Amino acid sequence: MKVLIEPLSHFAFFRNKEVDALYITLALTQFVGGLAGIFVPIYLWNLGEPLWKVLYFFLLKSVFFIFLTFFSIPFIKKLSDKLLMLLSIPFLALYYFGLNFFTEIPAFFYLLPVLHSASFFLFNVGYHVNFVGAADGDSLGRQIGARSLVSSLVTLSAPFLGGVVIALAGFNSVFLLGTILLFVAVLPLFYFPQRSLSPDISVKSVWGSLNHKYLMPFTFSGAGYAAERMISTLVWPIFMFIAIGSVEKFGGVVSIGLLAGALVTFFIGFLSDAGRRRKIIWWSTVLYALVWFSRIFYKTPFAVASSQVAGNTVFNSLLVGWESQYYKIAKALPSPTSFILSRELLYHLVRVPFLAFMMLLAVYLPLDSFFAVNFIMAGILSLPFILANRVHTSQLAK
Our measurement of the distance from residue 344's CA atom to the centroid of its chain's CA atoms, rounded to an integer in Å, reads: 11
Per-residue pLDDT reduced to its tens digit, 311-356: 888 888 888 788 888 888 888 888 888 888 899 999 999 999 999 9
| pLDDT, mean of residues 359-386 | 95
The answer on pLDDT for 187 being more than 80 is: no
Size of the chain, expressed as the number of residues it contains: 398
- Is the whole-model pTM more than 0.75? yes
Q: According to the model, what pLDDT value does residue 209 have? A: 84
Give, as one character, the DSSP assignment of residue 334: S
Residue 353 CB partners (closer than 8 Å, separation 6+): none
The answer on pLDDT for 6 being more than 50 is: no
Spatial separation of the C-alpha atoms in residues 307 and 304, rounded to whole Å: 5
Q: According to the model, what pLDDT value does residue 138 have? A: 52
Tell me the β-bridge partners of 196.
80
The answer on pLDDT for 135 being more than 90 is: no
Spatial separation of the C-alpha atoms in residues 329 and 232, rounded to whole Å: 26
Q: How confident is the model at residue 293 (pLDDT cuts 50, 70, 90)?
A: very high
Residue 183 vs residue 216, higher pLDDT: 216
Residue 55 vs residue 2, higher pLDDT: 55
Q: How confident is the model at residue 31 (pLDDT cuts 50, 70, 90)?
A: confident
User: Which is nearest to 295 in space by CA: 304, 285, 283, 286?
Assistant: 304
Domains of the chain: 7-397 (1.20.1250.20)
Q: According to the model, what pLDDT value does residue 377 have? A: 97
Q: According to the model, what pLDDT value does residue 275 have? A: 52
Q: How many CA atoms lie within 13 Å of 96's alpha carbon, on the beta-carbon side?
A: 27
Alpha-helix runs per DSSP H in 135-215: 140-155, 158-169, 171-182, 203-210
Spatial separation of the C-alpha atoms in residues 207 and 284, rounded to whole Å: 30
By percentage, how much of the chain surpasses pLDDT 70? 80
Residue 232 CB partners (closer than 8 Å, separation 6+): 311, 315, 378
Per-residue pLDDT reduced to its tens digit, 54-78: 999 999 999 999 998 888 887 777 7
Spatial separation of the C-alpha atoms in residues 30 and 63, rounded to whole Å: 23
Q: According to the model, what pLDDT value does residue 309 have? A: 86
Per-residue pLDDT reduced to its tens digit, 189-215: 776 666 666 667 778 888 888 888 888
